[in-house]
Amino acid sequence: MTKRTSLTVRLSRRITVLTTAVFLSAMGLSSFFSQHELTRESENSVMRLLNSTVSRMNIFFGSVEKSLKVISWTVEERKTDVEYLKHITRMIVENDDIDGSTVAFVPYYFPNMEHCAPYSFVHQETGEIKSKMLGEEDVDYFKEDWFAKCTESGEALWSDPYFDQGGARFMMTTYSFPLKDNEGRTYAVLTADVPLENVMEMTESLRPYAESDVFIISDKGTVIAAGNKMDLVGQNILSLTEKTENDGLSAIYEDSTVGKPGIRKFRWNGVLRFAAYQELDNGWWVLFTFGYKDILTRVNILWAIVLAVGLIGILSLLLFNFRTISKMTAPLRSISAAAAEITAGNFHPVLPAIDTNDEIKQLRDSFLRMEESLDAQIERIEKETARNQRFESELRIASGIQASMVPTDFPVHGNVRLNAVLKPAKEVGGDLYDFYIKDNILYFAIGDVSGKGVPASLFMAITRAAFRFISQMGLEMNEVLQRINNAICEGNSGGMFVTMFIGRMNLETGELDYCNAGHNPLLLNGCFLDVKPNLALGVMVNFSYIAQRTVLRNGDSILAYTDGVTEAEKTDGEQYGEDRLKAFAISNRRLDGTGELCEKLLQEIHSFTEGNEQNDDITIMTIKYIQNGSHDNE
Amino acid sequence: MEVTITNDGTKTRAVLKGRVDTTTVEGFQKDIVPLMEGENPDIELDCSDLDYTSSQGLRIFLMLQKSVIARGGKMVMANMKSQVKEVFDITGFSNIIKII
């Protein structure tokens, strides 16, 4: 059994599915492009921010470099005046961005003095500027990077950052500027200690996103500053890339070594992140990382809004569709219920009123017309049924009347045994037989009206009455037929005709006078009697019939029949025929004159036709002559 | 039952094919309606393919002949098979219908 789903539900479902599909496609496309756009825009904005930060850092470091370069010229003039040099370093430290400065001479630049490095610095607690000589107490600066590397290379350089031994709160870096004599030999190094606090502050502007980090990395890959990720400071970025879940860092490092700014995706502890990076003028570089989510958050919010609006829209649409369709199809349900009522037998169910002029109204109107048509048809059928019933009942009565027209009170007479049967194909038929005995004389007739049914039956009645009446007038058999013929010809506009055989037998002598009007010849003891056809009755007025005579002997028998016997057919058209009839008559001689013979022949015909419908009336008459009643008990 | 009617101007020829019995008699009666009218009433019925006729068929032949005679024409039935001829003989119709 199939599950029933209402039209309303199906329509609503389809519309909603379609709408949802369209909406989701549109939303998917739009969010795909907006995600792409937002990502690109975010990347651009990050790069702009990074660039501006790097510029500020360059200015910061550049100003330190420039001030040392300018001051280096003044040192040149009075390089042996230690007090003056102290003064110079104090001047340098006056710069807010610089916490300490020294002019450190190479060993024994001054005879008798291994170390000579006047040094000024900002006191951590008081903020006062103080001066002292390095190397005098505990600092053997010759091995310090800022000194050794600078004197070795003869070039200015920024040191790797470090925590000041004095317990500075911030990381420091030192800019070393070589001072050279006329021959180009480096005799001292001018330095500025720069706390990285200010630089780190500059990176604060690089925090547009919640999960972002800023790193400053040296030209050798050492993490100089790492915001709040202090544990990474001092580690080399290349060593971090060795962890397998940190993928893409080496590519970033390679970019940085050739000074190429960029933005890349990479994995940090397995999480996808973005890295933006740009090199500073001093060879360091700034690495800015932020989460993929930071960018996508905006897209996701967009998504959520669109999705929410869409869902509300689809739900509203579903509700609206459901209610609208339900309302529109309500008349359909009423009409369906009305149809069910009609099926149940109520032909006037209440139909819904419909205001719209649409298909549903057409349906309702068709339904109304159907009701009217049903009424008319039922009325017609009732009338026809009544009429048919009347006809049938009349036919039954007619059938009874006709059956009673042929005699069934077969004679009880010593010299003759006679039986007959008439089986119409329809209720009434055109076959007839008759007999009566008067003054020891047997009068008999058998006939067949052309056609069947009611018209034939009327003719049969006329013919049989005419025979009864005219045969008693004492006329010869040919005259009897002539008079019947003329009676029938009168007013026979339908071209009907009757074949008929009549006979008159003297039961004492066996003399048989007979006359035929186109009827099938009789069988006498199983052989055809010599019979002139003459002409069927009703065909030609005043036709002259010729009578014949024969004499029956004791035991002779006559079998009279109509063509319903010989022309009884199988479905393939084969007829019973005269030969079979003859054979039947010969092999059933002992039944001559009995009703048993008639029944047996009927049975044989029925078997022969194999149940094919009887299509013509059948009449059988058997007569056996018994002279002087000698075979009465045979 | 098939009836094929041809006309050569002076005589109408009708070829009858099949059986005239209870089931075909009505159609046969309609088929020969054209033969019951017109000004060239002479008719030859070719019965070489007529297999059987019931008494109802005889009645139609009789009426056809009446119609032909009423219009001053003649009707002949030709090439009749023996079993059909027998029916005409038994009923005496061969006395009043010309069979060649």
Interface predicted TM-score (ipTM): 0.90
For range A370-397, the mean pLDDT:
90
The answer to whether the beta carbons of residues A12 and A325 sit under 8 Å apart is yes
Q: For residue A537, what is the nearest residue in chain B, using CA coordinates? A: B91
Are the C-beta atoms of B43 and B12 separated by less than 8 Å?
yes
The minimal CB distance from A448 to the residues B21, B55, B94 is found for B55
Whether residues A458 and A383 share a domain: the answer is: no
Most A CBs within 10 Å, among B25, B36, B55, B85, to test the A interface: B55
Same structural domain for residues A432 and A569? yes
Q: Give yes or no: residues A483 and A589 share one domain.
A: yes
Burial class of residue A173 (count of CB atoms within 10 Å of its CB; 0-12, 13-18, 19+): buried
Contacts 24+ apart (CB under 8 A), A306-310: A306/A27, A306/A30, A306/A31, A307/A27, A310/A23, A310/A24, A310/A27
Nearest alpha carbon to residue A429 among A461, A388, A387, A469: A461
Instruction: Collect all residues of chain B within an 8 Å Cβ-Cβ radius of residue A534.
Output: 92, 95
Residue A578, in any domain of the structure: yes
Q: Mean pLDDT across chain B, nearest whole number?
A: 89
The sign one gets for the Cα dihedral A553, A557, A562, A566 is: negative
- Are A468 and A555 found together in one domain? yes
Residue-number span of the structural domain to which A289 is assigned: 200-295
A393 with A411, same domain: the answer is no
Pick the last residue of a domain from A251, A268, A295: A295
Checking if the pLDDT of A328 tops 70, the result is: yes
Residues A391 and A428 in one domain: no
Mean pLDDT, range A165-176, rounded to an integer: 71
Burial of A619 (0-12, 13-18, 19+ CB in 10 A): buried
Query: Any CB–CB contact under 8 A between A431 and chain B?
Result: no
Extended strands (E) in A385-506: 416-423, 431-438, 441-449, 498-506
Residues 6+ apart with CB under 8 A from A570: A608, A609, A610, A612
Q: How far is residue A321's CA from residue A379's CA, in Å, rounded to a whole number? A: 45
Q: Are A248 and A266 in contact (CB under 8 A)?
A: yes
Q: Examine residue A616 and state whether it is found in any structural domain, yes or no.
A: yes
Which pLDDT belongs to residue A26? 84
CATH ID of B2-99, from 3.30.70.3000, 3.20.20.20, 3.30.930.10, 3.30.750.24: 3.30.750.24
Q: A581-589 long-range CB contacts below 8 Å, 24 or more apart?
A: A581/A523, A582/A523, A582/A526, A582/A527, A583/A526, A585/A523, A585/A525, A585/A526, A585/A559, A586/A525, A586/A526, A589/A525, A589/A526, A589/A557
Kindly state whether residues A452 and A362 are assigned to the same domain.
no
Other beta carbons within 10 angstroms of residue A407's beta carbon come to 15
Q: What's the pLDDT score for residue A634?
A: 40
| Inter-chain CB proximity B55 and A450 less than 8 Å | yes
Quick one: A610 and A622 in the same domain? yes
Tokens standing for residue A310: 């869409």
What is the count of residue pairs from A and B with beta carbons less than 8 Å apart? Answer: 65
Same domain (yes/no): A385, A426? no
Please check whether residues A519 and A566 belong to one and the same domain: yes
* Residues A274-317 pLDDT 10s: 888 888 888 888 888 887 666 667 667 777 887 888 889 888 88
Rounded-to-integer distance, Cα A89 and Cα A24, Å = 70
Quick check: is A212 in a domain? Answer: yes
- Please check the confidence at residue A1 and state whether its pLDDT lies above 80: no
Assess whether A266 and A357 both reside in one domain.
no
d(Cα A314, Cα A182) in Å, to the nearest integer?
86
Rounded Cα distance between A523 and A622, Å, is 10
CATH number at residue A272: 3.30.450.20
Q: Å from A539 to nearest chain B CA?
A: 8
Based on the fold, state whether residues A538 and A617 are members of the same structural domain: yes
For the domain that residue A611 is a member of, what is the CATH number?
3.60.40.10
The answer to whether residue A133 is domain-embedded is no
This prediction's pTM: 0.55
Indicate the residue among A276, A295, A314 that finishes a domain: A295
| Domain termination site, one of A295, A314, A331 | A295
Check pLDDT > 90 for residue A535. yes
- For residue A131, tell me if it sits in a domain: no
Q: Cα-Cα-Cα-Cα dihedral of B40, B41, B44, B45, to 10°?
A: 120
Q: Is residue A215 within 8 Å of residue A221, measured between CB atoms?
A: no
Q: Mean pLDDT throughout B28-52?
A: 88
Residues of B with CB under 8 A from a CB of A: 19, 21-23, 52, 54-56, 58-60, 62-63, 66, 89-96
The percent of residues in chain B predicted with pLDDT above 90, rounded, is: 45
Rg (CA), chain B: 12
From B56's Cα to the closest Cα of chain A, the distance in A is: 5
Any idea how long chain A is? 634
Give bridge partners of residue B18 from the DSSP assignment.
B50
Instruction: Categorize the per-residue pLDDT at A633 as very low, low, confident or very high, splitting at 50, 70 and 90.
Output: very low
Q: How many domains does chain A have?
A: 3
Q: Given a cut of 80, is residue A497 above it in pLDDT? A: yes
